[in-house]
Structure formats: structure tokens, C-alpha cells
């Protein structure tokens, strides 16, 4: 309750004072009561109107006369001048409530994006003077030793001190196959340590890492309004001065034609006309529609960084996609096991897993995880042959586990090498005989197939995969998913060229990816989409849309939200303009009162909020009115009504 009063104290004070004034004026009447209720009306007005007048004077200093703040101030002071105290206060009070609602929507979207980016790791564990310290990477010096635990990201470029280790570099290079790095070789910031803890000697400062260089190359997109918002802002700038002069005409022109002319009557009509004419209800209704869409998307694990991108997504007709981490899981699994010469599958896996049990390579981990209940053999004379595999002795038998080059090196005759699928193949030989082959691959995500079908149903005319993986693997994945085109062996600048060529000719081009190498092309595309769960900082920060759950099936949902939001926005525009024009006409003929004017101005804005909530109700069970009023206590509230000015 205290938090509520702190956030909305101006409106609470105004409301309490207004109720008190109405009671003293109409119910509790006593000698001198007029002074009491006038004081209460004044307090009620100042509580919510003071900030409006400050904004009005600031607008005047900036050369803007016809701001909504100035119009609202003049109209309400005029209402006081002719004795319509309650109506004058009500205009300001409901205007303030509309402000609260708008701020709640704005800050909810901002805080969701900030929270996502802040989840990325930004700590380096440094060994200094026999102690380990957790520092920000910018505080680490060249030559320092950093400790990177399994599953953690490497904070800075450096030289591996540990004998060897496996790193997932997919977010940096686009390659799905993890890299085995030996002592003395370079490790890049942003790589993920796959297995045991490793020690790295830092060779680059925080601002000079490969990750930082890519971030510096990509400028963060400036905030953009949706085209509809830009149109409404331009419209308001023309519309506002026109209605001001019409209000002046309503006040004085009847003097020439009406007999008897009563100034107070026509002045009151002009004040009503002015309140109605304030474009805030119209200008609020548009961004609130978009923020309703942003809120619904957030509830579904999708973050839009601006209404422009929400509006653009519905028009996207070409989508380029990264493969690893976007369409595939980015992790290795055993796909099949082939056995020869009568050996059983369990026995073959046991031989292979026994040699791999000390390995830190993800392929070895995939074999070990395939059948966890097998009892492994004791291995003697085990040796790793770099880039080829492992060899060792089990119960007096010489066992080889590795690629074709390993078997050829030991003059083992290949029983079968007729493999059509683009997998990684691990061959097992025992005492010089090829006994079997284990195929291992990066799996396609469970929802990738349904995603592609759903995207085609939603009007995406061309679906293309761009990847750093070899062409054979990329073509295979594209064929499995029914994509239109597939290009592999690509460097980041080559991906850039493909997207650059597609932009224009009335195309709206999107790109979805997760690696640092995708950041430049994500920035280039009309709609840049990042997979946020495993995506790099650079990709998340430069993307227009972030899918937090790494499920590509969220993208069709995002398109649905974009299209529905567009409909809601135009419903709000039509409703706001229709009611406003109707009440303005009624005011000119003396039929409408200040209460109708309040409804036409602030009431329309509140109804627009309710209409925007329909977006959340449709796409998320968590969408409630309360979410629109939950603002950040730490962020300054800046008025988006400035668009009227």
C-alpha cells in the first residue's frame, strides 16, 4: 500500500481533495464553506496540474506554443474562471491517470530488455597472489591468469595453459563442432568451456578482444517509432494549431451573427472544444497499442526493442537463418551404430566408451552418454592422436577409436564407408579389424520443422539458411526442413553480402541467429532476430527482436502478435478520431459539456489501454491491467506525450 501511495501520490492527493471539495460544496454546507471548497479544489488542481504547467512552460521556452500541456492548462484555468471547478480538476486528474498507464507500459518493455541483457556473464575469475578474485573483465590485465569453470564463457582472449580442453565456439564462428585447443594455443573471449576447469593467460585487454572488436563494428540501432506513430505525430503538429484557431473562432465569431451574444456561453463552448482537441488521447492510443503487443510478446518469451520492429515484422517476406543454435541444438548426439563381424552394439559401445572415458571432447561425451548403464573396461597404454582419435589396450587387445585417418594410419581395412548422411563418424577397430561405426550429429530442434511450416503459412516467401558449417551438412539440414536455399562454408562478410543483395525491391528482410559472427548481418537486416538463451552479447544487443527461450517456434507467434497489434492500433486510431470529432461538433453547437470533453480526451486514452490489453489476453494468460501500471522505481519517468508537441 505504501508503494502504491508513493508511486501515485499526486493522483491520490488530487482525488481525496476533489472528493472533499464536492462534499463541502454540495453536502456539508456551512458558513464560509465556499472558501474551504475553493481551497480544496485549488489543492486538487495543483497536485496534478503543477507538472503539466511546468511542461507547458518548458515547451514555450523551446518555441512550441501549441503543446497539449499548454492547451490543457488554458482550458482548465478557463473552467475555473467560469466556476466549473470540478470539471477543471477532473481534466487534469484523468490526464494524470492516463500518464501513469502509459509510463507503466513503457517501463515494462524497457525493463524486460534490460533484464535479458544483464543476464549475460560479465565476471572473470583471476588468480592473483595465491588467491582467486572475481573481477569485471575490464579490470583484468594482460598476463593475468584466469580460471574458467565448465560451462562458463571465456571472459578475455588468451593462451591456454592447461594441457588441452574443448571449447564450444559456435557463438563466435558458427561452427557446430566444438574445438579441441591444446596448451599454448589461442582461446577467444566468448568461447564456452565444455569440460574440466582450465587456466588461461590473458593476452588482450577487455576493449581489444575479438568480441569487443565486433561490438565496436556494430553500432546499436537508434530507437525508431513505427510508421503509424510517426504519421500520428506529424498529424498532431498540424492538427493542434488548426483546432486552437477554431476555438478562438467559436468564442468570438458568434458576436457577428448571434443576438444576443453571451461571451461566457461561447467561451465555455470553446473551452470544451479545446479540451477535446488536445491530441493526447489520439497520440497515447497508438503507442499503447504497440506496447500492448510488446507486453504480450514478452509474456511469450519474445522481446521487441521498439514498436518499429513490431510493426515491421508483420511485413517480413524473406527470412535468412543461421543453422547452429537456431535450427539445430548445437549439441552432439549418437544417431546410429553399425556393427560388423558379429560384434554386438553394446560391446562395441563399451570398447569405444572405455577409451573415451577420460576424454574432454564433446564427441566422446556423446558416446559416453549414449548408454550410461554399461560397465566400462580398464584401458592400458591409452594415447590420444591429435586430430584423429584414441588408441589403447583392453584385455590385451589393441583398440582404435577415431576417424578414417586413424584407421588408415594403422593399416586397418575399412569394412564399410558408404555413409550418405553428413554426420561425424567414429570408427572402432580391434586388433586390426574394423568392427563398427558410430554416427554422431548435431540434432535438429524438435520445433524447427513446425516452425518452417508455420512461417510459410504466414506469408514468408523465401526461407534461406546461411551457415559457417560445411555445405554438405547445411544442405542436409535444409532438405530435412524444406528450406528454399542453403549456403555453407560462409564467413560473416559473406553472410552480409547475401542479405545485402536481398534488401530492397519492396522486400522486408529478416535474419535470425545467435553467434557474434551474426551481429553485423543482424544489424543490416530490416528485422534482426537473436536467440537469447545461448546467444552472444553482441547478437542480443544489436538484435531488434530477442527470443529468450531459443525455440524457433516463437517466431510465428511473434508474427501473429505483430499482425494483431497492427489491427488494434488502427482500431484505436479510428475510435479516438471518431469520438473526438463527434464531441467537437457537439461542443460547437453547445450540446456537449466538459464531462463529455473529458471522456473524448482522457476517456478515449483509457479505453485504448483496455483495447491494448486484448493483445495480452489473446496471447498470454498473464496479461492484466496491473502490468500496465507496474513501473520501475529506479528509472526516471519521461513523458511520451512529448510527441504531441
Number of H helices, E strands in the chain: 24, 22
Give the cell for residue 150.
Answer: 565448465
Residue 536's nearest CA partner among 89, 191, 219 is 191
CA distance 271 to 598: 11
- Whether the CB-CB separation of 232 and 282 falls below 8 Å is answered with yes
Partners of residue 201 on adjacent β-strands: 145, 159
**How buried is 374 (Cβ within 10 angstroms: 0-12 exposed, 13-18 middle, 19+ buried)?**
middle
Write down the residue that cell numbers 508537441 correspond to.
645
Residues designated catalytic: 322
CA distance 265 to 1: 44
Grouping H, G, I as helix, E, B as strand and the rest as coil, residue 639 is coil
Helices (H), 424-470: 448-457
CA distance 60 to 231: 23
CA distance 587 to 417: 87
Give the cell for residue 15.
Answer: 482525488
**How buried is 371 (Cβ within 10 angstroms: 0-12 exposed, 13-18 middle, 19+ buried)?**
middle
- Whether the CB-CB separation of 565 and 293 falls below 8 Å is answered with yes
Q: Can the peptide bond before residue 260 be classed as cis, meaning omega within 30 degrees of 0? A: yes
CA distance 376 to 401: 15
- Whether the CB-CB separation of 149 and 125 falls below 8 Å is answered with yes
Q: At what angle do helices 362-370 and 345-356 cross, to 10 degrees?
A: 140
Amino acid at each position: 500500500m505504501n508503494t502504491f501511495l508513493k508511486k501515485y501520490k499526486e493522483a491520490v492527493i488530487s482525488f481525496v481533495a476533489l472528493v472533499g471539495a464536492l462534499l463541502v460544496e454540495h453536502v456539508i454546507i456551512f458558513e464560509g464553506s465556499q472558501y474551504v471548497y475553493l481551497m480544496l479544489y485549488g489543492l486538487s488542481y495543483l497536485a496534478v496540474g503543477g507538472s503539466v504547467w511546468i511542461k507547458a512552460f518548458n515547451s514555450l521556452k523551446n518555441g512550441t506554443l501549441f503543446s497539449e500541456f499548454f492547451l490543457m492548462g488554458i482550458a482548465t484555468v478557463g473552467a475555473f474562471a467560469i466556476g466549473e471547478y470540478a470539471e477543471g480538476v477532473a481534466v487534469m486528474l484523468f490526464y494524470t491517470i492516463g500518464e501513469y498507464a502509459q509510463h507503466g507500459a513503457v517501463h515494462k518493455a524497457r525493463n524486460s530488455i534490460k533484464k535479458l541483457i544483464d543476464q549475460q556473464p560479465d565476471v572473470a575469475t583471476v588468480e592473483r597472489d595465491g588467491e582467486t578474485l572475481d573481477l569485471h573483465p575490464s579490470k583484468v590485465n594482460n598476463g593475468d591468469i584466469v580460471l574458467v569453470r565448465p560451462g562458463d564463457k571465456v571472459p578475455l582472449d588468451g593462451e591456454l595453459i592447461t594441457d588441452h580442453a574443448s571449447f564450444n565456439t559456435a557463438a563466435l564462428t558458427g561452427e557446430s563442432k566444438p574445438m579441441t585447443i591444446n596448451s599454448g594455443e589461442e582461446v577467444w573471449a566468448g568461447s564456452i568451456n565444455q569440460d574440466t576447469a582450465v587456466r588461461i593467460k590473458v593476452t588482450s585487454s577487455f576493449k581489444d578482444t575479438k568480441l569487443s572488436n565486433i561490438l565496436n563494428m556494430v553500432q546499436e540501432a537508434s530507437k525508431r517509432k513505427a510508421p503509424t506513430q510517426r504519421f500520428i505525430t506529424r498529424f498532431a503538429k498540424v492538427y493542434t494549431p488548426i483546432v486552437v484557431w477554431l476555438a478562438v473562432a467559436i468564442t468570438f465569431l458568434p458576436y457577428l451573427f448571434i443576438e444576443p451574444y453571451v461571451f461566457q456561453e461561447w467561451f465555455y463552448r470553446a473551452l470544451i472544444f479545446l479540451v477535446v482537441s488536445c491530441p493526447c488521447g489520439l497520440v497515447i492510443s497508438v503507442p499503447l497499442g504497440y506496447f500492448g503487443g510488446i507486453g504480450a510478446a514478452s509474456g511469450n518469451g519474445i522481446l521487441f526493442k521498439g514498436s518499429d520492429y513490431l510493426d515491421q515484422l508483420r511485413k517480413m517476406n524473406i527470412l535468412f537463418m543461421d543453422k547452429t543454435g537456431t535450427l539445430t541444438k548445437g549439441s552432439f548426439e549418437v544417431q546410429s551404430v553399425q556393427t560388423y563381424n558379429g560384434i554386438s552394439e553394446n560391446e562395441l559401445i563399451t570398447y569405444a566408451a572405455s577409451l573415451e572415458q577420460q576424454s574432454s571432447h564433446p564427441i566422446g561425451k556423446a558416446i559416453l552418454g549414449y548408454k550410461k548403464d554399461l560397465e566400462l573396461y580398464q584401458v592400458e597404454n591409452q594415447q590420444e592422436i591429435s586430430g584423429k582419435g584414441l588408441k589403447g589396450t583392453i584385455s590385451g587387445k589393441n583398440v582404435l577409436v577415431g576417424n578414417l585417418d586413424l584407421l588408415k594410419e594403422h593399416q586397418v581395412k575399412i569394412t564399410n564407408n558408404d555413409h550418405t548422411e553428413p554426420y561425424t563418424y567414429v570408427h572402432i577397430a580391434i586388433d586390426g579389424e574394423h568392427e563398427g561405426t558410430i554416427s554422431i550429429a548435431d540434432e535438429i530442434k524438435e520445433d524447427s520443422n513446425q516452425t518452417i511450416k508455420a512461417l510459410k503459412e504466414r506469408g514468408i516467401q523465401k526461407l534461406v539458411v546461411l551457415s559457417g558449417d560445411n555445405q554438405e551438412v547445411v544442405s542436409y539440414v535444409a532438405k530435412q526442413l524444406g528450406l528454399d536455399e542453403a549456403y555453407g562454408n560462409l564467413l560473416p562478410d559473406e553472410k552480409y553480402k547475401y542479405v545485402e543483395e536481398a534488401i530492397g525491391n519492396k522486400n522486408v528482410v529478416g535474419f535470425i541467429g545467435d553467434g557474434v559472427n551474426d551481429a553485423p548481418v543482424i544489424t543490416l537486416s530490416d528485422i534482426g532476430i537473436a536467440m537469447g538463451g545461448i546467444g552472444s552479447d553482441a547478437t542480443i544487443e544489436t538484435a531488434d527482436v530477442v527470443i529468450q527461450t531459443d525455440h524457433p517456434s516463437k517466431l510465428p507467434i511473434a508474427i501473429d502478435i505483430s499482425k494483431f497489434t497492427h489491427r488494434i492500433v488502427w482500431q484505436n486510431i479510428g475510435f479516438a478520431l471518431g469520438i473526438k470529432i463527434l464531441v467537437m461538433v457537439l461542443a460547437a453547437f453547445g450540446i456537449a459539456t466538459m464531462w463529455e470533453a473529458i471522456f473524448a480526451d482522457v476517456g478515449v486514452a483509457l479505453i485504448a489501454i483496455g483495447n491494448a490489453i486484448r493483445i495480452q489476453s489473446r496471447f498470454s494468460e498473464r496479461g492484466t491491467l496491473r502490468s500496465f501500471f507496474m513501473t520501475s522505481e529506479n528509472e526516471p519517468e519521461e513523458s511520451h506525450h512529448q510527441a504531441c508537441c
